[in-house]
Structure 1
Amino acid sequence: MDKLRLLEIFIATCDGGSFAAAARTCNTDPSTVSKAIGRLETQLGLTLFQRSTRQLSITTAGKRYADTVRKMIQDLACCEDELKHLNDTPCGTLRINSAVCYGHLYLRPLLAAFCQQYPAIKLELEINDLHMDIIDNDIDVALRTGFVKDSRLVARRLSPMDFLTCVSPQYLEAQGIPRCADDFQQHSWIGFRIKESQQLQPIFLPDDKGEYLPYELARSHITDDGEAMAHMCSDGLGFAQLPHFLAKEGLNSGALVSLYPYFRPPQPESGVFVIFPKRDYLPAKVRVFIDFLTASLASMGESTHHTWAENWTPVLTFPGQKKG
């Protein structure tokens, strides 16, 4: 029998004045209560009750011990109530870790509305591209493009990650439009270096059937920063294959055009994910943040299996495919 159970039986015996009364309160039998009190007395090396055939009376040591135990149980109950309230109420500090580009372009513009809706939640936002251990670093929720399999975590896909082959209108006007993948050998290309692996992001271009295949191209320029890549592209330094959240602003403003329809990597781990520790009772602050983010993305035309890029009209289409 654990110590807390012994203490509960002890207090029930104090309140009831007998082993029989304590047994009724604790839903057990008098013999079990008697053995529990005896075990507690042995642990303490004290006599808590004077026993006789006619009555049970608490000792001076027993009274003092009961006062302390009663306060401890009340404090524990208050603490449990407070913790349950915190877990069930959207409040407290929410620690968010986000990939750099997604954090700046998609997450940050939504935060004011989130804080207005949930004023009791305070944000602690970390922006980096490090795949850190979110449990060891006490992070409530992370936003990542892709995820690492970890049985301690839940990874919920917010959207696919669609890529668009982008270029500035000025570049096309000056250099012409490549009509097939081989034509790109004569054009400038901006490459992206993945920080963790130091490898260049592969390029996928469509064949004459519209099937995207990996394609080897020399990169005229290279960067490891996604936003810099998008700006270099809109500045006319060449073509770039941008994820949808990086391409959106430039395409909407006209600073960029998309040469082909979107490309979606087939790997199941590809996409934008919200990641959080696995637990039986998800804190309300995490739950409402995920719900808010999901609803906000839905209003932008994005969901688990779709992005706005599916409906974007490219400059070129595949054979037999109509624009728009």
Structure 2
Amino acid sequence: MNKLEVMKIFLAVCEQGSFVGASRALNISAPVVTRSIAQLEDYLQVLLFNRTTRSIVLTEAGRIYQQESQRILDELQSAEDLVSGSYVEPQGQLRISAPVMFGQLHLMPIICAFLDDFPKVNVQLKLQDHVINLLDEHIDVALRIGHLKDSGLYAIKVGQVRQITCCSPAFADAHGVPNTPEEVSNFTTITTNTQSEMSTWRYYSNGKEQNVKLKCRFKVSDNNAAVQAAIRGQGLTQRMSYQVSDGIRAGSLVRLLKDFENEPLPVNLIHLAGRKANARTKQFIEYAAAKLRDNIALNAD
């Protein structure tokens, strides 16, 4: 049994969620995958997957083996990179994570330019709005908005954003605008599903945080939809400044209650490797940081 090859097959099954999916991803037959996992379980004398007719689920032993296998393969890749020159010339796989709308609006153009400038680098971009564990998700670089709690992360600040309340000029003309946070409750609002459990927006007034109850008429599935609904005059919405800065500059959105906005949140590029980062990670961080710092949408005032 080739342990490294079996590890790769095992990790492919974990990622794909099935033996058939792993066989397709690796371009090998499904029986080879099944036999390899069976040999691995027999060798380890543990069950790595709980199997049903419809799905497979990692056991506790399987989750531990998944983490350690990924660590071993990552360290092997680092060693190969070191001797092959990847720590000098950017090349190989780069895994990046970012919030969905931020990635679409502000990171995608940077990644595309980076790929053009560094043709030996491949990028896998994961767009997701929840905070992830870089080690568990095997992410090299992530963009994170907000104050960092994990002291084990290396962070490079690239800007700041804040929550902004806004509406379209047409809505303002037809319904007026709130002059204080208390008046927000008199207006129809647009929220996202992630806010569905929250019936308030937060403001800062008289030296303390103030929560305002909403009269929500329109809930949508993502941030971009909320912005578009606001542009079309469906009500007030409260979004991150980077999400609405283009609309405000274009005049399709009007910024409201600026004097009551909360303090800005930092925007950081984060990674785990520090000085041991390979050339592709270092180069991307330097490349992206320079462009993001020049982005007016990340300089919330």
TM-score range for the pair, normalised by the shorter chain length: 0.5 to 0.7
Cα displacement string for residues 166-207 of structure 1 (whole angstroms, at most 9, x for unaligned residues):
100110111122233333232111123437xx6438523465
Structure 2: which amino acid aligns with 1:159? Answer: G
Alignment partner of 2:202 out of 201, 204, 217: 204
Contact 1:161/1:264 (8 A) holds in 2: no
Which one-letter code corresponds to 2:128 in the other structure? N
Q: Distance in 1 between matches of 2:233 and 2:105?
A: 21
Shift of 1:91: 1.6
Secondary structure, in 3 states, of the residue corresponding to 1:248? Answer: helix
Aligned twin of 2:257 = 260
Q: Tell whether the 8 Å contact from 2:161 to 2:299 is kept in structure 1 after alignment.
A: no
1:90 aligns with 2:90: yes
Q: How many residues of Structure 1 are paired with residues of Structure 2 in the alignment?
A: 224
- Aligned partners of 1:201, 1:289: CA distance in 2, in Å? 40
The separation in 2 between residues aligned to 1:159 and 1:202, in whole angstroms, is 27
Mapped partners of 2:268, 2:234: distance in 1: 31
Q: Paired residue for 2:230?
A: 233
1:309 alignment counterpart? 300
Is 1:290 matched up with 2:285?
yes
Structure 1 distance, partners of 2:81, 2:123, is 24
CA distance in 1, matches of 2:89, 2:123: 15
Tell me the alpha carbon deviations over residues 100-157 of structure 1, each in whole angstroms, 9 at most, x when there is no partner.
1111111012222222222222211111224332213321111122366335432333
Match in the other structure for 1:39: none
Identity of aligned residues (%): 26
Consecutive unaligned residues in structure 2, runs of 5 or more = 1-78
In structure 2, the residue matched to 1:103 is 103
Written as runs of structure 1 = structure 2, the 5 A alignment for 1:42-191 is 82-83=82-83, 85-146=85-146, 149-191=149-191
Distance (Å, rounded) in 2 between the aligned partners of 1:109 and 1:81: 27
The structure having more radius of gyration, on CA atoms, is 1
Rounded to whole Å, the distance in 2 between the matches of 1:201 and 1:116 is 45
Secondary structure, in 3 states, of the residue corresponding to 1:174?
helix
Native 8 Å contact 2:182 2:212 kept in 1: no
**Residue 60 of structure 1: aligned partner:** none
- Counterpart-to-counterpart distance in 1, 2:252 and 2:82: 53
| TM-score normalised by the chain length of structure 2 | 0.64
The separation in 1 between residues aligned to 2:273 and 2:226, in whole angstroms, is 35
Alignment of 1:242 with 2:239, yes or no, is yes
Root-mean-square deviation (Å): 3.0
Answer yes or no: is the 8 Å Cα contact 2:192–2:220 preserved in 1. yes
238-247 vs 173-182, greater mean Cα deviation: 173-182
1:274 corresponds to which of 269, 274, 280: 269
Query: Mean alpha-carbon deviation: is it higher for 181-190 or for 80-89?
Result: 80-89
* Alignment TM-score, normalising by the size of structure 1: 0.60
